[in-house]
Structure 1
Amino acid sequence: MITLHKFSDDFCEENYVLIALHSGLEDYALAYALNRTLKTSLKRSKTDLDISNETSFPIYEWKDELNDRYWTMIVNTSIKDEYLEFDDLFSNETSSTVYHLIPEYKDVDYLLKIEQEEDEIDSALLDSILKIPKIITAYQIETNKLKSKQNLII
């Protein structure tokens, strides 16, 4: 007789806060601005977050051992260029396909994931982020309503 074990969704849940960032800054410039403002040490990961063969998303991460938090900044958009080969007027043209880590939030440029015990963000932290020049807006995303939260498992 085979024994079947099922895990509830709560068993695999991790506590984290997800902040949406809207900014025209490049990823390295945003990581630098966050580091200066929040006194973090976000650094580019050696490996990207690969969702499939077509898509990978740059990651910046930092382990805050003092406050027992793990910070991850992820670019929400990945653009893949594909070369189309046709024997006609438009031969060897390039086509771009845009992928989003969180498709429900296509307009979000970056995601800041903070793994911590509480599932609420300190308002002072959000206020500090909003004071960074070139950040248009920042707000907390309710992660329990996300359909694609499995993409955030790093």
Structure 2
Amino acid sequence: MAVHKLILDDAFDEVLYTLIGIHCTLEDYRLAYLLNKYLGVTLARKVLDLDYDNGKASYSIYEWEDEKQLVTWSLVSNISKTETLQTIDYKSLFDTQQNIIKTNYLLTEYKTVNYFLKIDSAFSFGKEKYILDSILTIPQIATAYSIDSNQLKSKDNLIFN
């Protein structure tokens, strides 16, 4: 009896997407509005946020599926702040409780990036540069740049579905 073995080493590694890091101090809904206005897209908030570590970190996400070009655009926050109440025992008459704010990052390699724009399609260099130049024309954005997804250690966090 013959044994057939399938080797799927690189079959799933080649997911094509463009990733842009955005530095700004805007709220997520305001940034989504400005991107819609300047890029001509229709980003809308998803019903459920991205949830990691069983609710310890949640990231807001906006998405638009361009059915004409078969492209999915996703705007996701990189920073998640959670507040926990911790009891501190000072060996005194009164026990005190203190609020501690913990900051989590979607991609820990890019802690200074506020938002990521992920476009699930392989654009040519010219199209990617056009999108990036359009983002940089928004006055409220400090800077934006393309990120090489092959250099990411935590690229599994960019799987949103």
Q: 1:65 to 1:109 in 2, by over 3 A?
A: same
What per-residue deviation string (whole Å, max 9, x for no partner) do you get for residues 116-136 of structure 1? Answer: 134745211111100001100
* TM, length-normalised to structure 2: 0.87
Q: 2:57 aligns with which of 47, 55, 66?
A: 55
Report the identity percentage: 41
State the superposition RMSD in angstroms: 2.0
* TM, length-normalised to structure 1: 0.91
Q: 1:90 to 1:20 in 2, by over 3 A?
A: farther
Matched AA of 2:99: T
Gap regions ≥5 residues in structure 1 = none
- C-alpha displacement of 1:87: 4.0
- C-alpha displacement of 1:4: 8.0
Instruction: Report the equivalent of 1:132.
Output: 138
- C-alpha displacement of 1:9: 4.3
2:104 equivalent to 1:99: yes
Q: Distance in 2 between matches of 1:4 and 1:56?
A: 40
Q: Distance in 2 between matches of 1:86 and 1:9?
A: 51
Count the aligned residue pairs.
153
Q: Distance in 2 between matches of 1:10 and 1:28?
A: 36
Q: Distance in 2 between matches of 1:96 and 1:4?
A: 51
What per-residue deviation string (whole Å, max 9, x for no partner) do you get for residues 21-70 of structure 1? Answer: 00011000000000000010000000111121211111000001122210
Report if the CA contact (8 A) 2:50-2:61 is conserved. yes
Q: Which runs of 4+ in 1 moved over 4 A?
A: 3-6
Q: Which moved more, 1:25-34 or 1:81-90?
A: 81-90
Q: Rg larger in 1 or in 2?
A: 2
